[in-house]
Structure 1
Amino acid sequence: MFQAIKTVNRPFLFVFFCFLSVSTTLADSKPKLKECSLLEPGVPSEYLLSRAIQEQIDGYQANNRKKTTEAKLSFETSVSFLDKYHECQKEKGKGPTAQTAEIQAQNYLELTNTNKAWEWSEIAKQNSKEVTKEIVILQMRIRLREQDLGKATDVLEHDLVSFPNDPDFLYLLGNLYFERKMWNQSLLYYTALSFVIERRDNHSKYKNITSKSLGELNYKLDYPKIAIKRYNEYNSAIKNDMEVLFRLAQIYFVLGDFKMSKHYLEQIREKNSRDLDASHMLAEIIFLDARDLAPQFFLTLKNEKKIPKDGIIPLLYQLVNGTTFGLDEKLRIFIKANPGRLSPRVALLEVAEKNNDPDYEQLNAETAQYAYEYRQYGLAEKILRRGMNRLKENQTEQRVNYLEKISSCQEMFGQWNHSILTTKEAITLSSDLEKKFRLRFRLAYLYLQGNLKKEHVSVGILTDTINENPNPTHYYLRGLAYFQLEKYKESIHDYSEAIRMEPNNPNLYFYRASAFDKLKQFSETESDLKKTISLNPNASNAMNYLGYLYAEKNIHPEEAKQLLNQAISLEPDNPAYQDSLGWVHYRKKDYNLALLHLNFAASLALERGFEDPVIYEHLGDVYLAKNDPVNAVQFYKLSLSKDKQTSNKDLVSKIKRVQKEISE
């Protein structure tokens, strides 16, 4: 449940001085003047303000004591006194101050009159010399009272540039977006908060909740390894959070690491022997990963009275005990009701194998596909090889199909050479021309992966294939191979051929734009990027690319800003996009906004496990423009340390120049 930060303004010293002014006035023996038509002679208007503040304090105290009727009366009285005070100020030709308007907004908020509360908060904001954190958070609380999370978010984001490193702001934004189930935006702000905590506030009250939230967000956004890192940070401080331990088990299951998944499930069983979910998940993993150990573990569950009457566990228990009578139908019924579960499909396949089911080959393919989608690539390959071993010698094309799928499993494991050998075997066996073309394309693709550095081999395969079957996909992949070989003219030729055959494919224009850019052909690059966006209005990569190019050339600043804002609205947690927008603001000399987005970029890059020297150099440039050479040099040096180039002469020169400026 979302909890807003509640800030209450209680200027006790101001109340004291107001009373002091009353007492000194009363002690004066001179004729008493009437300061305001609403007051007795000699009574200053500050008396009304002091009474309003005291009534507000009484209201908050009554609320703390759960005396709602008493609190309501105090806040209404405070409103009345403030209205009179403002009337007196009006008679003097003065309006409400930022402070008195804020107090009145607080009163109306407590009285649930959000329209009046907002009206007074706007007056407070307008009359304040500078935007204060208290006013912004007050406005956020008003929007929350209206149950409008979107407007509450807008309030904070509008003024975030004034408080870019404030943990409260970043936490509230991360939390608000989490409540709205807008995971990418939530990740952006929680990541920025983590960045602030690590560098400025290591003992922050938000440290543990930030780690847990980032664990959950990275899990939801399919960054499982980062999720593990964040959950482990949290787990090192809060050791008995069963929810987090179970989530870690789930993530390792998704990654195919059954050993670690079992590790966390066993921890849960040790800490909470009554936990059924952990016991049942552990049973499924043992069934999938250690079939020979399954009978003993299921017997343990039976002794613990954890075998339920319904669900998948009793069906697996029946199978591991060797009883398959009627199990086929039960498993099919369960799968129909739970199509996404893997273990019942593996169980059904085992039953089908024992019963020599004529549908075994189809079941094998389906089960392997589900295992693959669950990232259980080892299990998928094992299933496929069992199916392939059952084929007869004359079932050549079926064997080719199995080999193609096995190659995909090996690829996902990063076993590029194994995958290449398996694909070559499939090509040799197949007599189907269309299938051969598909497999040769796959082989050319594999030679471009990992650290093989065999682009020439890929080009050769594709050239032979294009001579026999010139289609846009083959031209596209050869264009990519040429691009990696830095043969940009040849790359452009192939992308152009692909575009001629498939003129409405936005990706082809994007990749050709990249090649044009390498040859410094700006007008062609710009044209292709615009075409990409026109064909795909959600092409955030093209929006970022074009916006950044405009910023680099210092042209079309408003269009660049619009393009990058649109890209970020589609992918707010993309560090490259945040860097580009920061650079646009730098070019427009809006340095505070530039720092905001560049810090977002740096924190997001770190969250993804890398440090981009370009981002750090941009940060150095902004600090230098803000006349902060000390911070500028720090970021320049950081950029240089992360730069993979052997020597970045321009950056070295920049560092020397700024260091000289500091010394002088």
Structure 2
Amino acid sequence: MFQAIKTFNQQILFVFVCFLSVSYSQADPKPKEKDCSFLEPGVPGEYLLSRAIQEQIDGYQANNRKKGTEARKSFEASIAFMDQYHACQKEKGKGPTAQTAEIQAQTYLELANPTKAWEWSEIAKQNAKEVTKELVILQMRIRLREQDLTKATEVLERDLVSFPNDPDFLYLLGNLYFERKMWNQSLLYYTALSFVIERRDNHSKYKYVTAKSLGELNYKLDYPKIAIKRYKEYTSVNKSDMEVLFRLAQIYFVLGDFKMSKLYLEQIREKNPRDIDASHMLAEIYFLDARDIAPKFFATLKAEKKIPKDGIIPILYQQVNGHTYGLTEKLKAYIQSNPGRLSPRVALLELADQNNEPDYEVLNAETAQYAYEYRQYGLAERILRRGLSRLDPNLTDAKVNYLEKISACQEMLGKWNHAILSIKEAIRLNLDLEKNVRMRFRLAYLYLQGNLKKEQVSIDILSQTLSEKPSSTHYYLRGLAYFQLERYEDSVKDYTEAIGMDPNNPNFYFYRASAFDKLKRFPETESDLKKTISLNPNASNAMNYLGYLYAEKDIYPEEASSLLNQAIALEPDNPAYQDSLGWVYFRKKEYNSALLHLNFAASLALERGFEDPVIYEHLGDVYLAKKDPVNALQFYKLSLSNDKQTSNKDLVSKIKRVEKEISE
């Protein structure tokens, strides 16, 4: 995936060689002396350097002409001349310069000797007044030649703080982590690159490859809607990338948007009539979602000779045409070999419905569960409603089960009120206390979701249940409802009750810590966050919370850094964690590191579809500390425009202060 990145500029080197030649020819006549023991009198040591550089250039040019043997001879000659030059310098009491060591490293790399190349690159780095981008990328190339992706990544990350907005660095890091299949880290760097492109370099060569990579990464990390946005950005220019069009169809299928999925599959069929996969996927969608049109489409596939002899497509073709003889056995055999496929299960369920099979109810529950797991919530709800309509009215327990599952589908579809009505009906019909307690918890939970936010209703339901049968989970949920109502003392009491009943649940301590923090009770907050981490060593939310609190209070800076780095190691693409670490660096007056992580935070937040005023204000604070009031003002204003508070007096005061500074 990586293109060779050269760290030299041939034009500059050519000018340098010419400069040396002119310098020698115009020099004043002097008594000829030896510059070093193995040179002829009057021959300067720089002659060896110029020959080394020229041989290196000849080697590159030979490589471009595909003359491998010739190139190797030139590179070997370059090494020899440079060794002589360094020996000459040593006689004068001088060592290699950063530039000559870098040239030697480049040449050894071309000779496929990464060990020597690395040694010389390290000498170049030690002798450089300031490490250059070219030298860092050279070291990365050396590690890649060693086929060590981990070390190549470390090279770039070690010096990233010096080049935080460099598109090449961010692209290479995103690419390296992608190659290593570390999706979260890859997403972090590609997102940061996209942020740089949008703000600084909208015509970047990386713009559309970054959009495609972010589409793939968001798909892998289960952010389907963001993946769609990024893929569409890519296909706005690359309209005929069949792989991406098919992936868009798959994502829409997973989201249950069959209309959009069909749209992309039809595009593929139009652009590439010989395509088989898109045609077969489209056939399954018609079977699942548009049965009235399915026979016509399957007939089209038959005419196009795209109905194979084996697989699910000929079986579905048989069913849509009403030829059901022997079909049940075929479907059962296919399901046994392909248990994860949804369409044959739907087909088998329909046959069982038509034939009034005695095992219909079991098949209905299984098929609905598969549809739910595939996130086909609308299809799952339709299946369950069909099963509910077939039930004997006297089978109350079965009806309760159906209503509970239908409510779950409606919740996932964002139909909160429908979900509440379904679970209420299930509770009304149910006579079992244990089951009612569980369903009341779900009802109370639903009242806290979406745009309902009926906290008091949730509290009333939970209070009734707790009076009948106390449980830690009900105390926990009521504590959350109290927290949302800003009744923090009541929230603490309920979390304490939950902890008393289940002292090893880390979540209860974490949420109680949140309530203690609102009450400005830092010792208790700190204690509960530490307890959360002790019970769950991967509790990144608690690590971030505690690290940020330490930074805010300017205490335990090293521990704050350690906690936040642990959190980021677990979730590198979490914008809140990157913001917290950036704030720690700000408190430590390490402003470049602060900017690096705060820019990560801002870009990740944008990628997730929101703009965080806190991150923007932090960026403003860092730029102000770096005596860059123009950028500080930009981010303060961004923060204010995204702040949901009616009036943020502190931020308004900062803006006025900076505006005055700029005007003066």
* TM-score of Structure 1 vs Structure 2, range by shorter chain: over 0.9
Code of the aligned partner of 2:195: F
Corresponding residue SS for 2:219: helix
RMSD: 1.1
Query: Distance in 1 between the 2:333 and 2:530 partners?
Result: 52
CA apart distance, 1:324? 2.1
Give the match for residue 413 of structure 2: 413
Code of the aligned partner of 2:306: K
Code of the aligned partner of 2:441: F
Code of the aligned partner of 2:206: Y
Query: Distance in 2 between the 1:440 and 1:9 partners?
Result: 71
CA apart distance, 1:526? 0.5
Corresponding residue SS for 1:33: coil
CA apart distance, 1:23? 3.1
Give the match for residue 199 of structure 1: 199
Query: Distance in 1 between the 2:373 and 2:235 partners?
Result: 29
Query: Distance in 1 between the 2:458 and 2:249 partners?
Result: 40
CA apart distance, 1:24? 4.0
Query: Distance in 2 between the 1:336 and 1:58 partners?
Result: 65
CA apart distance, 1:9? 4.0
**8 Å Cα contact 1:447-1:458 kept in structure 2:** yes
CA apart distance, 1:491? 0.8
How many residues of Structure 1 are paired with residues of Structure 2 in the alignment? 662
Give the match for residue 290 of structure 1: 290
Give the match for residue 468 of structure 1: 468
Query: Distance in 2 between the 1:516 and 1:102 partners?
Result: 57
**8 Å Cα contact 2:7-2:106 kept in structure 1:** no
Normalization by structure 1: what TM-score? 0.98
Give the match for residue 17 of structure 1: 19
Give the match for residue 521 of structure 1: 521
Structure 1 residues 593-643: Cα deviation after superposition (integer angstroms, max 9, x where no partner):
000111111111111111111011101100111111121111111111111
Equivalent residues in 2 for 1:493-504 (5 A)?
Answer: 493-504=493-504
Corresponding residue SS for 1:372: helix
Give the match for residue 628 of structure 1: 628
Give the match for residue 91 of structure 1: 91
Query: Distance in 1 between the 2:240 and 2:234 partners?
Result: 10
Equivalent residues in 2 for 1:344-423 (5 A)?
Answer: 344-423=344-423
**8 Å Cα contact 1:578-1:598 kept in structure 2:** yes
Q: Does 1:605 align with 2:635?
A: no
What is the percent sequence identity of the aligned residues?
82
CA apart distance, 1:2? 3.2
**8 Å Cα contact 2:551-2:557 kept in structure 1:** yes
CA apart distance, 1:31? 2.7
Give the match for residue 145 of structure 2: 145
Bigger CA drift: 652-661 or 416-425?
652-661
Query: Distance in 1 between the 2:326 and 2:88 partners?
Result: 89
Query: Distance in 2 between the 1:304 and 1:415 partners?
Result: 41
**8 Å Cα contact 1:416-1:446 kept in structure 2:** yes
Query: Distance in 1 between the 2:160 and 2:30 partners?
Result: 52
Code of the aligned partner of 1:17: F
Equivalent residues in 2 for 1:419-498 (5 A)?
Answer: 419-498=419-498
Code of the aligned partner of 1:18: L
Give the match for residue 257 of structure 1: 257
Code of the aligned partner of 1:651: L
CA apart distance, 1:333? 2.4
Equivalent residues in 2 for 1:319-358 (5 A)?
Answer: 319-358=319-358
Query: Distance in 2 between the 1:586 and 1:88 partners?
Result: 48
Code of the aligned partner of 1:185: Q
Query: Distance in 2 between the 1:444 and 1:168 partners?
Result: 51
Equivalent residues in 2 for 1:79-228 (5 A)?
Answer: 79-228=79-228
Code of the aligned partner of 1:21: S
* Residues 477 and 209 of structure 1: CA distance in aligned 2, closer, same or farther (over 3 Å): same
Equivalent residues in 2 for 1:556-595 (5 A)?
Answer: 556-595=556-595
**8 Å Cα contact 2:7-2:135 kept in structure 1:** no
Bigger CA drift: 587-596 or 364-373?
364-373
**8 Å Cα contact 1:437-1:465 kept in structure 2:** yes
Code of the aligned partner of 1:492: V
CA apart distance, 1:159? 0.5
**8 Å Cα contact 2:404-2:423 kept in structure 1:** yes
**Contiguous gaps of at least 5 residues in structure 2:** none
Structure 1 residues 166-204: Cα deviation after superposition (integer angstroms, max 9, x where no partner):
111111111111111111111111111111111111111
Code of the aligned partner of 1:592: N
Structure 1 residues 465-498: Cα deviation after superposition (integer angstroms, max 9, x where no partner):
1111111111111111111111111111111111
**8 Å Cα contact 1:9-1:103 kept in structure 2:** no
Query: Distance in 2 between the 1:481 and 1:506 partners?
Result: 19
CA apart distance, 1:268? 0.6
Code of the aligned partner of 2:563: L
Runs of 4+ in structure 1 displaced over 4 angstroms?
none
**8 Å Cα contact 1:4-1:172 kept in structure 2:** no
Normalization by structure 2: what TM-score? 0.98
CA apart distance, 1:319? 1.1
Corresponding residue SS for 1:356: coil
**8 Å Cα contact 1:548-1:560 kept in structure 2:** yes
CA apart distance, 1:417? 1.1
Give the match for residue 233 of structure 2: 233
Corresponding residue SS for 2:292: helix
Corresponding residue SS for 1:352: helix
Give the match for residue 648 of structure 2: 648
Give the match for residue 62 of structure 2: 62
**Contiguous gaps of at least 5 residues in structure 1:** none
Query: Distance in 2 between the 1:3 and 1:406 partners?
Result: 53
Give the match for residue 47 of structure 1: 47
Query: Distance in 1 between the 2:544 and 2:253 partners?
Result: 35
Query: Distance in 2 between the 1:31 and 1:421 partners?
Result: 105
Query: Distance in 2 between the 1:73 and 1:550 partners?
Result: 60
